[in-house]
Every structure is written in structure tokens, then in C-alpha cells.
Amino acid sequence: MFDFGIVTKWLDDLLNSVMPGWLTTTIECVLVAVGLLVAYSLIAMFYIFYERKVCGWIQCRLGPMRVGKWGLLQVFADVIKILQKELITLWHTDKFLFKLAPYLVLIASMLTFACLPWGRGLQIVDMNIGVFFIVAVSSIGVLGILLAGWASNSKYTLIGAMRSGAQMISYELSCGISILTIVCLAGTMSITGIVEAQADGWFLFKGHLPAILAFIIYMIAANAENNRGPFDLPEAEHELTAGYHTEYSGIHFGFFYLAEYLNLFIVSGIATLLFLGGWMPLHIPGWEGFNNIMDYIPSVVWFLGKAFFITFIFFWIRWSFPRVRIDQMLALEWRYLMPIGLVNLVVMAIIVTQGWYFGA
């Protein structure tokens, strides 16, 4: 399988040979930032299109069909439209916080996005506490949402923000615990380390029941973290019109929208990384021919393919289930998910220490 590390190393060496070290670093940082921004916006646009089509399919519709072939240009049209829109600021709002909020949400998702392992050797920084970093920076988002709700000075947004705060902080626990379970199995927090550890079998299959349980808990909690149905209470269109971002318009609203879709990709990416072997191809022990063919598929395709598949499950859930109520949402977390998650973590620790997992 092709290792992208060769390309990046070659570029690094090339730059270093013609210019001083600090300039190399600067240029590389700029390149990475540009690359990230491009990937970020492209993926967001793809996801918007993807969700519209999947949602249309589930609801016996066609989805957008008018702009471009199969409606392919619809998203571009929407982006142009949203860029042209006026940024409306209301009276009696805290203007600074009001404008800061969408950027906070965007920054949080951007930082997390930067940590994903895209393919073999295709990663920005490989920190030894990579997973911990992801969990840490992804929590900044809730601050943006709370600020948005608070600074808008509207009753709807305030209720939306309160719900969001309660929800995201609660479900972060379950999310964290299920991630810990896998860290326990992998024995490392480094993202590359976790992926490498799944070379001979994905954790979902390797880790017995605790891994499967952790996967289910993660899927539920991640859905809630993302404020997506059935946990879309902070937005709850039918109750709060649009929840915390009711008062936002134009590109400020666009940022929330963008971040929401990107967060969807990020949680799918993390699920891929933790449970489905990241960019690792599917290997079945003993089937050498099959494994060789799988190796020919580029690692980026593997990663994106798995992430899109997980996203499809999220879409499926969102468009099938009704919304839960705030008390039910909190009860689900504190009475069921978290206790189960904690027990699961202990069980996983026992399995790891006893060496009962597959391929031990």
C-alpha cells in the first residue's frame, strides 16, 4: 500500500535544501492550512449533497434535481446565495459575542478535522496524545453554541443553548468513555498507533462484546454530540424554530451549518479510526488473495469510504426516528449509556489484561 509519507518527506527535504528551516516550516504550515480549508469546504459541500440525496431516497423523493445534472450544482448555488445574504444583527444583542460564536464553532470542528488520519502517512501531526487532543478540542464547540444562544438575546435561542449545553456536556462523557475503552484495547492514544494496531483485524471485530458495545454507545453519543436527530433538541425546529441559531443569517448561519456537516464527517471519521481500522484495508486472516486485492485500494479511499458508510448510518437514524424529549435525552445518558459505558470499560480492561481479545 502506498505510503504518503514518502511524498511529504520528499517535499520537506526539497524545501529544506533550498531555504532555511523556519521558512520551510512556515511554507509547510501555509500549505497544510490551504489544503485543510479546501478539504473542509469540499467535504462540507459533498456532505450537504450526500444528505439531501440520501434523505430524498429514504423519503421517496428525488432530492435536488434542477441545478446541474442530478442537482450536482445545487450546493454551489446555495453557497453563492448564502454568501450574498445580509448579515442581520438585532438590537440589544451582545455584538461581539454574537459574531464570535459561529467562529468558535467553526474553529472547534476545524481543529478536530485536522487530527484525522486520512491515509497511510497522510496526517498533519502525529501526537502521542492524539485521541485526547481530539476529545479536548471538540468540546470548544459547545462554547460557541452557548454563546450564540446567549448573545442573541432571544428566548428561543436561550432555551436552545441551554438544551445544547446540557446535551453536549452529558454525552461527551459517554463519548469519552467509549473512546477510552478502545484506547485501553489499543494501548496507545496516538492516532497512528491505534490504526497500526488494527492491521490484523479491526477493533470492532477484535475486541469481543465490549468493543461492539462501545461502538453502539459511541454511535448514540456522537449523534447527540452533533445535535442531530433524534437528538436535535437544541435546534428542534418544531419547538424552537431553529434553536440557538434562530437569529443568525447569511454566512454566520452558514458557518453553523458548515460546522454541523463537518462534525458529522469528523465523528464518522473517529468511529472509523477507533472501530473500523482507520485507513487500514479489510483483511480476513487466511484469505491471502483477497487481502492482496484489498491492499491495492488506496488508503484514502478506505478511510473516506468507511467514514461515508458510517455517515450513511447517521442519516438513516436521523430520517427514521422522532425526536426525544429533554428529560428522556438526559435519562438515556445518565441512567443507561454512562453506567453501561463504565462497566464496559472495566470489562475491556479485564479482557486486555487477561489477553482474551482476538489476535492477542
Partner 1 sequence: MAEIENKITQLCPQAQVDTTGEFPLVTVDDAQWHDLASALKNQLHYDVLSAVVGMDWTDSFGCVYYLTNTSTHELLHVKVATTDRENPRLHSVCDLWPVANFQEREVYDFYGIVFIGHPDMRRMFLRNDWVGYPLRKDYDPASNPLRLEDETNEDYTCRWVEDENGKVKKIDGKVFEDDEYVVNVGPQHPSTHGVMRYRASLDGEIVKKIDVVSGYIHRGIEKMCEDLTYPQMLLYTERMDYMAAHINRHCMCMCVEKALGLEVPRRAELIRLMMDELMRLSSHLLSYGCLTMDQGATTAFFYGFRERELIYDIFDRTCGARMSMSYSTIGGVVADVHEDFVKDVRHACDVIEKALKEYHKLFTGNVIAVNRMTGVGILSKEDAIAYDITGPSGRASGWHCDVRKTNPYSLYNEFDFDEIVYENGDSMDRYMVRMKEMEQCIKILRQACDKLEAEGLQGEYCAPKVPKLMKLPAGHWYQQVEASRGAFGVYIESDGNTKPVRVHFQSPCFNLIGVVDLTCKDNMIADLITITASLDFVIPDIDR
Please report, as ranges, the residues that interact with partner 1 according to CB under 8 A. 58-61, 155-156, 159, 163, 229-230, 232-233, 236-241, 319-328
As measured in angstroms, the least distance from the Cβ of 321 to partner 1 is 6
As measured in angstroms, the least distance from the Cβ of 55 to partner 1 is 8
Can you give the C-alpha Rg of the chain in angstroms? 21
As measured in angstroms, the least distance from the Cβ of 318 to partner 1 is 9
As measured in angstroms, the least distance from the Cβ of 240 to partner 1 is 8
Residue placing its CB nearer to partner 1 in the complex, 191 or 324 = 324
Residue placing its CB nearer to partner 1 in the complex, 60 or 360 = 60
- Count, residues in the chain: 360
Residue placing its CB nearer to partner 1 in the complex, 251 or 330 = 330
Instruction: State residue 188 phi and psi, 5-degree precision.
Output: -150, 155
Q: In angstroms, rounded to a whole number, what is the distance separating the alpha carbons of residues 191 and 251?
A: 33
Residue placing its CB nearer to partner 1 in the complex, 321 or 358 = 321
Cα–Cα distances in Å, from 319 out to 56, 66, 232? 10, 23, 12
As measured in angstroms, the least distance from the Cβ of 236 to partner 1 is 7
* 289-328 burial code (b ≥16 CB/10 A, e <16): eeeeebeeebbeebbbebbbebbeebbebbeeeebbebee
Residue placing its CB nearer to partner 1 in the complex, 156 or 205 = 156
Residue 274: closest CA among 215, 337, 225: 215
Strands (DSSP E) contained in the chain are: none
